[in-house]
Amino acid sequence: MIMTTTWPDSYAKERRIQRLRHHFESFDVERAFPLPLFEQAVLSLDSCPLLEPSFKVQEGILFAGRVTTSTGTEDWQHLISTALNFFDAVESRVEVTIDRGLLEKFLTLHQNSDKIEASLMGIDLRPNVKESSLKVHLRLDPQQDADELVMTAIDLDGGDYSPELTQVLLKDTFLIGFDFFLDGGSAVEMYTICPGKKPLAMLGKKGAYLKPYVLSNFSHKVTSLLQEVAALTVGFSKENPRPVLYFEFETLREVKYNLLFNSLGDKIYDFCLHNQIENFVSIGVTEPDLEKRRLENFRFYYRKAV
């Protein structure tokens, strides 16, 4: 009995690490601090149905040491505890400081909220360890109004948002992100979402405010692309001079049909194609970078079930 229940659990955990390492090794990401500690944290999770590896291309440099992972919806508080234990292990390095104050203030007010549906834990590795960051994201229940949670995030962020945009944030934020940089910095980001070319039942009430805002305030290229994708997420933070637009495509091939990349983007696309990553690929880009003929600065996300 013990063997039949333990073996699948061990196999699933080993598969998580294999998927992580395949992503990293395919793009020569060194298994440097704090990656081994992140792997240990991922292994400690009882449930880990989804990995979302990603890439960031900036000024001709490819950063591939990026991934988030999530648990089932009933385990979001457990993942937060796992993330904080991971932070403790990272902070044991003398030269590393993690300011978790923003997250602690948020959880003090909303630790027991039934409007938080799930949580995510992530890492963004850089060659200079002080430029690396750790991530905790809280996903909100799309069927409920979560104005009080989003207002707390807005206050913690400290950004100056217009009344129109504040309303968009309050009504259409579906994810609240906390970034912890290993140089001691931290940031909050509110991710809003709306459907693209057709309604999406999974979004619940979300999107009614963001979509008109995008159509009124962004360029023709942005609004045209909105009609070609499954969903659009827009991330707002005081730390980002311009919001980041995340276009989620239903299939990988739709990405290439709608966007042109530089050579690094083509390399990422070929990797996804070779590994049969077919569905729900997201491209994150600012509006000015989207206006260029080819994308030079962007983020590229894909999902891998485990």
> pLDDT digits over 239-260, tens only?
998 999 999 999 999 999 999 9
Dihedral of CA 161/167/169/170: which sign?
positive
Give the pLDDT of residue 36: 94
Instruction: Say which residue, 283 or 14, is predicted with more confidence.
Output: 283
CA 150 to chain centre: 17
**pLDDT tens for each residue of 98-112:** 999 999 999 999 999
Contacts of 193 (CB under 8 A, 6+ apart): 172, 174, 175, 203, 206, 207, 210, 231, 232, 233, 234
Residue 72 has what pLDDT? Answer: 65
34 against 50, higher pLDDT: 34
pLDDT of residue 74: 63
Banded model confidence at residue 73, pLDDT cuts 50, 70, 90: low
Neighbours of 60 (CB within 10 A): 10
Where residue 183 falls among pLDDT bands split at 50, 70, 90? very high
- Sequence ranges of the domains in the chain: 2-305
> What six digits make up the tokens of 157?
């962020």
pLDDT score of 160: 95
pTM of the predicted model over 0.85: yes
pLDDT at 6 over 50: no
Phi first, then psi: give them for residue 293, nearest 5 degrees.
-60, -45
